[in-house]
């Protein structure tokens, strides 16, 4: 039985198993696809890049491995801070974002580019936008967070769900984030607002709610 499933180019499905290892199968022929240099771990997270160009696995012990397509598939280990629990990978496989116990990190070409604290509870999952600009994360609470992928700065805390956020994913153009929650709601967030100056956001808020930014903050 598999925990998660992703599709790779070449009509290959990868299943992260509840037991050790993973299964890769050709959809057209139903035959198993071999994989080289893949460690024998129990995997707790599996994610795929847009277009099925890459996949990334995170083990129960915190090991992170990128899977490159081909026949056979090839695995390569990614250096990860201790405590990794989830990851996502860019389409070219060069960038891996990692969520762990108390942190978010970015790894480029095998080197940790930055690592920043994750407020509150640690992220249960992370997602990298297809354009490489944003990282979304969520934990066992009712908010999602958006981070600047270049700097690691926290850019937005998205409140609106009335129960735990259960999933996050970006549109293919990276301009919209979708979140799903245990409250049964799905929400779409326009990330274009993150590019607007604070003065513009304050003016729009005042026009919408009749409150100045100072009044809103005081309330």
Q: Taking the model in full, what pTM does it have? A: 0.86
- pLDDT, one tens digit per residue, over 71-112 is 899 999 999 999 999 999 999 999 999 999 999 999 999 999
Residue 1: per-residue pLDDT: 43
String of DSSP letters for 122-134: PPSEEEE-TTSSE
18 pLDDT higher than 80? no
Average pLDDT on 199-203 reads 60
146 pLDDT higher than 80? yes
212 pLDDT higher than 80? no
140 pLDDT higher than 90? no
218 pLDDT higher than 60? no
Question: What does the alpha-carbon distance between residue 94 and residue 152 come to, in Å, rounded to a whole number?
Answer: 17
String of DSSP letters for 28-49: TT-PBPPEES----BEEEEEE-
When pLDDT is cut at 50, 70 and 90, the band that residue 2 belongs to is very low
Residue 122: per-residue pLDDT: 85
Q: Are strands 73-78 and 35-36 parallel, antiparallel or unpaired?
A: parallel
For the chain, what are the domain ranges?
Answer: 2-218
Residue 61: per-residue pLDDT: 94
User: 20 or 103, which is more confident?
Assistant: 103
pLDDT mean across residues, the chain = 89
User: 68 or 121, which is more confident?
Assistant: 68
User: 53 or 207, which is more confident?
Assistant: 53
Residue 93: per-residue pLDDT: 95
Average pLDDT on 185-195 reads 89
Long-range contacts, 7-15 (Cβ 8 Å, 24+): 7/48, 7/52, 8/48, 8/52, 8/53, 8/54, 8/55, 8/67, 8/69, 8/73, 9/51, 9/52, 9/53, 9/69, 10/69, 10/70, 10/71, 12/69, 12/73, 14/46, 14/48, 14/55, 14/67, 14/73
End-to-end distance of the chain based on CA atoms, in angstroms?
A: 51
When pLDDT is cut at 50, 70 and 90, the band that residue 19 belongs to is confident
Domain 2-218 superfamily per CATH: YVTN repeat-like/Quinoprotein amine dehydrogenase (2.130.10.10)
């Amino acid at each position: 039985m598999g925990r998660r499933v992703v599709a790779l180019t070449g009509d290959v499905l990868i299943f992260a198993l509840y037991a050790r290892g993973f299964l890769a199968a050709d959809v057209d022929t139903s035959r198993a696809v071999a994989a080289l240099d893949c460690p024998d771990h129990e995997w707790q997270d599996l994610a795929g890049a847009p277009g099925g160009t890459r996949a990334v696995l995170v083990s129960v012990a915190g090991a992170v491995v990128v899977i490159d397509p081909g026949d056979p598939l090839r695995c390569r280990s990614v250096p990860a801070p201790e405590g990794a629990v989830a990851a996502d990978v860019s389409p070219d496989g060069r960038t891996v974002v990692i969520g762990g116990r108390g942190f978010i990190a970015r790894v480029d070409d095998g080197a940790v580019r930055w690592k920043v604290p994750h407020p509150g509870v640690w992220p249960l999952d992370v997602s990298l936008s297809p354009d490489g600009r944003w990282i979304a994360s969520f934990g066992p609470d009712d908010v999602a967070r958006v981070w600047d992928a270049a700097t690691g700065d926290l850019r937005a805390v998205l409140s609106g769900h009335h129960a735990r956020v259960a999933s996050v994913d970006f549109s293919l153009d990276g301009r919209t984030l979708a979140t799903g929650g245990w409250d049964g709601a799905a929400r779409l967030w326009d990330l274009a607002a993150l590019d607007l100056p604070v003065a513009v956001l304050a003016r729009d808020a005042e026009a919408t709610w009749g409150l100045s930014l100072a009044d809103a903050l005081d309330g």
